[in-house]
Structure 1
């Protein structure tokens, strides 16, 4: 992709865009929420739909000239229904957090009670952290993973639900490496008369491909991101049964948003179409296998993994046993120097702060998109260990950086 047209009017922005393109080519993207979309998705998101307002829904817009916007949104909706088997889908939310907010707006009143997974145990800000809108508007209680197992304790969750009597239970995660028993959480919600919202932001693509059990048809509401393990336009979506369709649509528009980002919806439609192809299932299976191999490599190098491993696309390592003097932030910074981009992350029983946590989180979606398989992932695990074992050793950094560049050159993106 050329940025010549940008450069003709704005060299500074063109330089930044070209720099970002090169950065992605020459680094290993291992932030679990990131991926590389196809050039078709990029083109759709840069289309003339950028210019179009389309407040409302297909066939019921508040502006004229929406016939092609309607076509695009209807395609995105129908493809999402095919992917996840949902009765009703709203593809307009700007993000996964916006999707969660719309569900709350649809069924809760300020001050109502939310029961959700604690942030340091793998939850998400929008599940009710006190710095987030959800924590400010609602009365939030958290459940946790088991201290010894690092896994969700569904009996404990059910007891917590009985004590808290929430109006909605939120399931899903941003840093939990195991499969979720949606039925067990639904049973806890049913027992106290609560709604159940399953946030599959991280595993949207794994669910679509059958690599993780689906909460669609189990939970009252399913929210997700469209750009993590599924390579579509960056944003969110909401799925529910027909009985909640009107409430959800009204919460998104006019309750939460004005005009949808139609160029972004076009990217979703294209990405969903790509995910309906047989090759996508092979990709999703490789994502999970790559994460398992990455985890094995880290364990062989002495790292402790939360829950002992992974069933999904991410690995969460707790550095407190293997590297007690190294924080997740220090590891993140050192790895960035050699071209391995991941993030420091809180871990269950966190003894430091979210700004300087005790763990690191690594994901495999983007590397799998580049064509990495088990041998490459084992090598990446070894490279991560070499850096974290030798914080500050510039000679080691130089050697690892050269190997990272070799891997990047062998698996190019956007040629």
Structure 2
């Protein structure tokens, strides 16, 4: 089908605003010239990008399909209804809301649906893998609610479910949150459900990081256990930047009201449509193969980094991410991140459980396999990437040997990225 003249048109951007066009091209070249190992990032398909750059961006559509506050919503109603149906089918959920602008927006709506200011919320400690919206004092979740934090065991670095239960019994939280940003292992949703039932709490699962693995049937789903599941759509799920909420039928009205009109106005209909595209892609057997490979690659990468002298937190990973303690190499997480960046390897410093270093320095790095798996890389490539990370982390910038090692690693990274390009030129 011929692209309509009003569709995505990079020539129009180039002629209208060459400065921003240069930024867009520069980002594309950055993706094509390096390795993207940020666990919370991925490469959307050209189809998702096309929906994001469509005329649906123009439409104001406060409300929900069939109940809008503006006229002219017939087409966007169809897009949202398609997305809702796809989400419910893909995840086996009673209800879906595709309107949250982000994962944080989805979490705010979940709090609003079930809690009043001052209610106790039990969630994972940010210092041990949790999320900013799970009770941090600098976030609405810690300022408007009363956070109680659970963590991991010192001996295994796995969630301490006995502690979760003890804290729940002691504090009687209104909301219990399962989910994290830097926890590499599977979460026992049945255990959380049992604890929530024992104290009469609502169970919320923040599945932002791993929901794409659920969609691809690579790991168990939280949907049968949770009252509400919130997540982002741009990580393993490989959709546009945005959020989504799934919930049980009895909570549908409360969730919808908490999104609109409580916390948001008009939805971003181009993003809603792009989420629908991503959900369709996630329902395919190809995506299931992808999700399985994401986990296999993360396991292989963690193993390779252990062979390079780093310690895998909790002994490894069951998901798309791994957390590595870099102290055995006598370097901080921040310095490891800088050295890898010099070698065109993008990852992030991250605190490890019971980290003695401040967050801005950190003792660990977090790596993720979604983007490189999207580019078609497999376990042998992960072994090569682990070797390159090890070489970069051990290289000391400012020394002749260190600078040479980083330059050599950057050249090898470029070769690997060229063999598996991001957005190959024939992909649209």
Give TM-score, length-normalised by structure 2.
Answer: 0.95
Partner in structure 2 of residue 337 of structure 1:
342
User: Matched residue pairs, number?
Assistant: 413
Counterpart in 2 of 1:102?
109
1:14-53 correspondence to structure 2 within 5 Å: 14-53=21-60
Structure 1 stretches lacking a partner, 5+ long: none
Partner of 2:81: 74
Aligned 8 A contact 1:233 1:266 in 2: no
Which residue, 285, 300, 309 being the options, matches 2:316?
309
Q: Secondary structure at the match of 1:382?
A: helix
Q: 1:219 aligns with which of 202, 216, 226?
A: 226
2:287 corresponds to 1:280: yes
Query: Residues 174 and 202 of structure 1 are in contact (CA less than 8 Å); yes or no, is this contact kept in structure 2?
Result: yes
Alpha-carbon displacement from aligned partner over 1:272-296 (angstroms, at most 9, x marks no partner) = 1111111000000000000000011
Aligned CA-pair RMSD: 1.0
Secondary structure in 2 matching 1:233: coil
For residues 166-223 of structure 1, what are the alpha-carbon distances to aligned partners after superposition, in whole Å with 9 as ceiling and x for unaligned? 1111100100000000010111111111111000000011011221111102111111
| Match in the other structure for 1:365 | 370
Task: Sort the Cα spacing of 1:40 and 1:306 in 2 relative to 1 into closer, same or farther, 3 A.
Answer: same
> SS state of the match for residue 20, structure 1?
helix
Matched, 1:140 2:147: yes
Q: Which runs of 5+ in 2 are unaligned?
A: 1-7
- Are 1:183 and 2:186 an aligned pair? no
Counterpart of 2:245 in 1: which secondary structure?
Answer: strand
SS in 1 for 2:241: coil
- Does structure 1 residue 4 correspond to structure 2 residue 4? no
Q: How does 1:13-412 map to 2 (within 5 A)?
A: 13-320=20-327, 322-324=328-330, 326-392=331-397, 393-412=402-421
Q: What secondary structure does 1:344 align onto?
A: strand
- Secondary structure at the aligned position of 1:92 is classed as coil
Larger mean CA deviation between 384-393 and 308-317 belongs to 384-393
For the Cα contact (< 8 Å) 2:40–2:235, is it kept in 1?
A: yes
| Residue of structure 1 in register with 2:5 after alignment | none
The CA deviation string for residues 318-365 of structure 1, in whole angstroms up to 9 with x for no partner, is: 122x123x1111111110111100000011001111111111000000
* Distance in 1, Cα, partners of 2:17 & 2:240: 25
Give the Cα separation in 1 of the matches to 2:42 and 2:417. 15
Contact 1:3 1:18 in 2 (8 A): no
TM-score, with length taken from structure 1: 0.98
